A and B are shown apart, each in its own frame.
Chain A
Amino acid sequence: MNKLVIGLFIVAFSACANKPRPVDVIKFADLDKLIQDNSSDLMVVNFWATWCAPCVKELPQFEKLLTKYENQGLKVVLVSFDFVEQLEKKVIPFVKKKDIKSDVMLLDETDYNSFIDKIDPKWSGAIPATLMLDNRNGNRRFFEKEFKEGELEEAFNNFVH
């Protein structure tokens, strides 16, 4: 009996330790729900892909932002436009290797024109792009640009204050 409990404990523990950062595969309806969800005070949604060099370059800034402002109610969501066929081979290994703490989702959609305006009318569709939401006052701000070193936190502070 004891052995069984210990055994289960070990299995459970190792499962936890080896658990890859989950990457949820979502549709636009899920993303829309997520954007509407106001359970966290502040949310930063970044649109990226593993094959997008400027996106990958700016990712550490999002991770730093999360670490610094998480206790002030910030949630960071990285929405990947990688192709779903690449989930196991590319996206999950990338997230593991970089030890990404932000929530990572893969948006598996094809008819882009049907939803880009719903995220922001100013968005032409180029990535990287970032949406900031303040659920305390309903403010939102959209950026179709790559944040150079230090620019993300500055933009975030300008947005929040």
Chain B
Amino acid sequence: MKKNILITIGVLSVAMIFFINAKKTTLAVGSVNYEVGDFARDFNLKNIDGKMVSMSGVRDAKGFIVIFTCNTCPFSKMYEERIMELQTKYQPLGFPVMAINPNDKELSSGDSFENMKLRAKEKGFNFPYLYDETQEIASAYGATRTPHVFVLKRASDKYKVAYVGAIDNNHKDASMASKKYVEEAVDNLLSGKDVPTKFTKAIGCTIKWRDA
């Protein structure tokens, strides 16, 4: 009897190891991509002020504008002002910005934590600028480029993906953008409506993934 229990425990442990490893492999190849309707995982990442930030820690938020971005990509730089404007407009309405830099500092030294602090200070960032040092969050979300936006709607302790894509349809000139995808998505969520454009694409800098 005792022996049977031991064997069972042994078999279960082996099975669990296999299961965990299989999950890890999927993450590493980045095949886990959040699509609209999926639930996004929370994170606990270091902000430029040294404090850890998670979505669950922002009690009164109705949702989040999660933006994978960085210091070095020209497209990211072009959108910095607009990201600040999103925070100014939507944080008071319950949809704060969470900017996350996922780039590996070995491959892109300009994206180190120290340089994030410098960039934020220089530009006067008004939003949390978090460092995804292990790249786990970018990998889990299926982010591929900077900037890459995920608008999430909170449902108690869950975060439902409502929009994935670009901020608007003109990287060069915000005033020339005829479609402001993120604003449109958040406005609709705030008024309890469906998001009309749920997914867009844009050219961006590939995320600098650490070599496996």
**B207, closest chain A residue (CB):** A126
B206 within 8 A of A: yes
The distance in angstroms between the C-alpha atoms of A86 and B207, with both chains bound, is: 23
Contacts of A144 in B (CB 8 A): 144, 206
B88 within 8 A of A: no
Interface residues of A, dominant DSSP: loop
Q: Are B205 and A52 in contact (CB under 8 A)?
A: yes
Q: Are A112 and B166 in contact (CB under 8 A)?
A: yes
A53-B108, A125-B144, A126-B144 are known contacts. Are A110 and B204 too (CB-CB below 8 A)? no
Partner of B176, one of A51, A53, A110, A123: A110
Partner of B202, one of A49, A83, A113: A113
Q: Are A112 and B203 in contact (CB under 8 A)?
A: yes
A125-B144, A126-B144 are known contacts. Are A112 and B201 too (CB-CB below 8 A)? yes
Q: Are B169 and A126 in contact (CB under 8 A)?
A: no
Number of interface residues of B (CB under 8 A): 22
Q: Are A125 and B171 in contact (CB under 8 A)?
A: no
The distance in angstroms between the C-alpha atoms of A71 and B97, with both chains bound, is: 53
1/0 contact string of B170-210 vs chain A (CB within 8 Å):
11110010100000000000000000000011111111100
B74 within 8 A of A: yes
B63 within 8 A of A: no
Q: Are A125 and B172 in contact (CB under 8 A)?
A: no
The distance in angstroms between the C-alpha atoms of A146 and B206, with both chains bound, is: 9
Task: Beyond the given A111-B170, A112-B202, A123-B201, please list 6 additional residue pairs across the A-B interface where CB-CB is below 8 A.
Answer: A83-B74, A112-B201, A117-B201, A124-B145, A124-B201, A127-B145
Q: Name 5 A/B residue pairs within 8 A (Cβ), A-sorted.
A: A52-B206, A110-B173, A125-B144, A126-B144, A127-B205
Q: Which residues of A come within 8 Å of B, CB atoms?
A: 47, 49, 51-54, 81, 83, 110-114, 116-117, 123-128, 144, 146
Q: Which residues of B come within 8 Å of A, CB atoms?
A: 74, 108, 144-145, 165-166, 169-173, 176, 178, 200-208
